[in-house]
């Protein structure tokens, strides 16, 4: 089921998604013993992570049974300023009691990034719970959206958009002139829950195109998500102002 939540600002988004995280975490831990979540990079998730670390939510979540993965990563070392892993570590993971052995960094700086992507796929197959049909299944995948309609490292015009089998793949992004590693649509679409976080005035035009487009052919990668579970969009009023959901 798809739901769109329009909230006043990035702080309200952080609070709403933190509550979603808490509820889903409790459900997953009681259901199969652990909560498996893929994190997103970007400024909006950073606000969420900082909120989780500093609010009472840090005490209301069972970090000892939380397993942290990543939706995508740039081909930089773990301590590089552009690393999604570093951002998540600084904002959240180093500030809560999540065991280091349960944080699974995407090694996108590996010499052989394709091989590293295959190894990350194997890790998901070994670690994640399975859906009824035996497919690996995240409890929650956090996503953002770029002003070109990309999500994770699924950029317009890249071959990874057609990937039907691999769970994780390396992708060369021409506009960035760099390699990335990313989850693919098969594993994103099979998640129990997906949360897409979009905030800011700079996203209003692309968000209107994405949410209000009535054509059956997706124009942007984020429109190619075909969630089998629940997908919730958390957008602030600045991003929503050009959409039909602006209230």
Which CATH number characterizes residue 210's domain? Answer: 3.40.50.1360
For the chain, report the end-to-end CA distance as a whole number of angstroms. Answer: 21
Q: 245 in a domain, yes or no? A: no
- How many CA atoms does the CB half-sphere of 201 hold within 13 Å? 0
Q: What is the pLDDT of residue 216?
A: 83
Q: 185 in a domain, yes or no? A: yes
Helix (H) or strand (E) holding 108: none
Domain that holds residue 33: 2-229+236-240
> Across the beta sheet with 72-74, what order do the strands follow?
72-74, 178-183, 168-173
**Number of CB atoms found within 10 A of residue 216's CB:** 5
pLDDT in tens, the chain (247 residues): 999 999 999 999 999 999 999 999 999 999 999 999 999 999 999 999 999 999 899 999 999 999 999 999 999 999 999 999 999 999 999 999 999 999 999 999 999 999 999 999 999 999 999 999 999 999 999 999 999 999 999 999 999 999 999 999 999 999 889 999 999 999 999 999 999 999 999 999 999 999 998 888 899 999 999 999 999 999 999 999 999 987 6
Question: How far from 203 is each of 110, 147, 214, 237, 238, CA to CA, in Å?
Answer: 32, 6, 19, 11, 8
Name the CA dihedral angle for 114, 115, 116, 119, rounded to a multiple of 10 degrees: 130
Q: What is the pLDDT of residue 245?
A: 86
Q: Give the total number of structural domains in the chain.
A: 1
Q: 247 in a domain, yes or no? A: no
What does the alpha-carbon distance between residue 217 and residue 96 come to, in Å, rounded to a whole number? 43
Q: 158 in a domain, yes or no? A: yes
User: Please, which residues have CB within 8 angstroms of residue 141's CB and are 6 or more apart in sequence?
Assistant: 37, 38, 71, 183, 188, 191, 193, 194, 195
What does the alpha-carbon distance between residue 133 and residue 103 come to, in Å, rounded to a whole number? 26
- Token pair, residue 64, equals 């000892």
What does the alpha-carbon distance between residue 29 and residue 41 come to, in Å, rounded to a whole number? 25
Minimal CA–CA distance to 138: which of 183, 83, 198?
Answer: 183
What does the alpha-carbon distance between residue 243 and residue 247 come to, in Å, rounded to a whole number? 9
Question: How far from 187 is each of 16, 83, 117, 140, 144, CA to CA, in Å?
Answer: 24, 22, 13, 11, 16
Q: 74 in a domain, yes or no? A: yes
Could you tell me if 39 and 140 are in contact, meaning their C-beta atoms sit under 8 angstroms apart?
no
Q: 176 in a domain, yes or no? A: yes
């Amino acid at each position: 089921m798809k739901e769109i939540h329009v909230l006043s600002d990035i702080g309200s988004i952080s609070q709403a998604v933190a509550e979603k995280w808490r509820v889903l975490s409790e459900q997953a831990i009681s259901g199969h013993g652990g909560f498996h979540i893929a994190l997103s990079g970007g400024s909006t998730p950073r606000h969420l992570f900082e909120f989780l670390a500093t609010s009472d939510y840090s005490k209301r979540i069972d970090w000892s049974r939380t397993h942290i993965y990543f939706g995508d990563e740039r081909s930089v070392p773990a301590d590089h300023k552009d690393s999604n892993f570093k951002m998540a570590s600084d904002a959240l993971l180093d500030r809560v009691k999540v065991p280091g052995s349960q944080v699974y960094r995407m090694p996108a700086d590996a010499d052989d990034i394709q091989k590293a992507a295959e190894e990350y796929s194997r890790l998901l197959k070994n670690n994640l719970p399975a859906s009824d049909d035996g497919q690996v299944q995240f409890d929650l995948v956090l996503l953002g959206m770029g002003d070109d309609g990309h999500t994770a490292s699924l950029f317009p015009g890249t071959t990874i958009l057609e990937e039907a089998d691999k769970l994780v793949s390396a992708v060369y992004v021409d506009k960035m002139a760099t390699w990335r590693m990313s989850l693919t649509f098969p594993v994103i679409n099979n998640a129990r829950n997906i949360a897409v976080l979009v905030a800011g005035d700079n996203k209003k035009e692309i968000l209107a195109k994405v949410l209000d487009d009535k054509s059956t052919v997706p124009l942007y990668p984020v429109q190619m998500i075909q969630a089998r579970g629940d997908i919730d969009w958390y957008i602030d009023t600045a991003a929503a102002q050009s959409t039909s959901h602006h209230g």
